[in-house]
Amino acid sequence: MPWDFNAESKEKIKTILTRYPPSYKRSAVIPLLYVAQEQNANWVPLAAMNKIAQVLDMPPIRVYEVASFYTMFNRTPVGKYHIQLCGTTPCQLCGAEKIQQTIEKHLGINTGGM
């Protein structure tokens, strides 16, 4: 599936790439993922990750690794509002489950719901 940055995003990318020496342009992977997500309704499709790999002259797997590691990048479409709640053991011990139940009850949704 073809995907490309729009003109506004391309200008942002030009500006971002000026912050990095040419031999280290791969370091711009996180800012470019953010630009792609911003352009694409708050999620980054695989085609956008491939385009980022092409722009930064790096293997696509390296872009996938970064996008899957950081929770700030959505790899699937999300709803109008995206609520995230920590679910780690320390957060659970501090009452994250009760917070989750309160949010679900207040909004009338279930976890993962739209």
Q: Tens digits of per-residue pLDDT, 57-96?
A: 999 999 999 999 998 999 999 887 788 888 899 999 999 9
The answer, yes or no, to whether residue 44 has pLDDT greater than 80, is yes
Would you say residue 110 lies in a domain?
A: yes
Whether residue 59 sits in one domain with residue 103: no
Residue 47 in contact with residue 1, Cβ under 8 Å? Answer: yes
- Residue identified by tokens 């694409």 is 40
pTM check: above 0.85? no
Both 64 and 102 in a single domain? no
Instruction: Check which CATH number belongs to the domain holding 28 and give it.
Output: 1.10.10
Check residue 12 and give its pLDDT.
Answer: 98
Tell me the average pLDDT across 30-54: 97
Which band of pLDDT confidence, cut at 50, 70 and 90, is reported for residue 34? very high
Sign, CA dihedral 112-2-31-26, equals positive
Domain span at 21 = 7-69
Whether residue 9 has pLDDT greater than 80: yes
Report if residue 87 sits inside a domain.
yes
In this prediction, residue 114 carries a pLDDT of: 64
Query: What would the two tokens of residue 11 be?
Result: 């200008």
Residue 50 and residue 90 in one domain: no
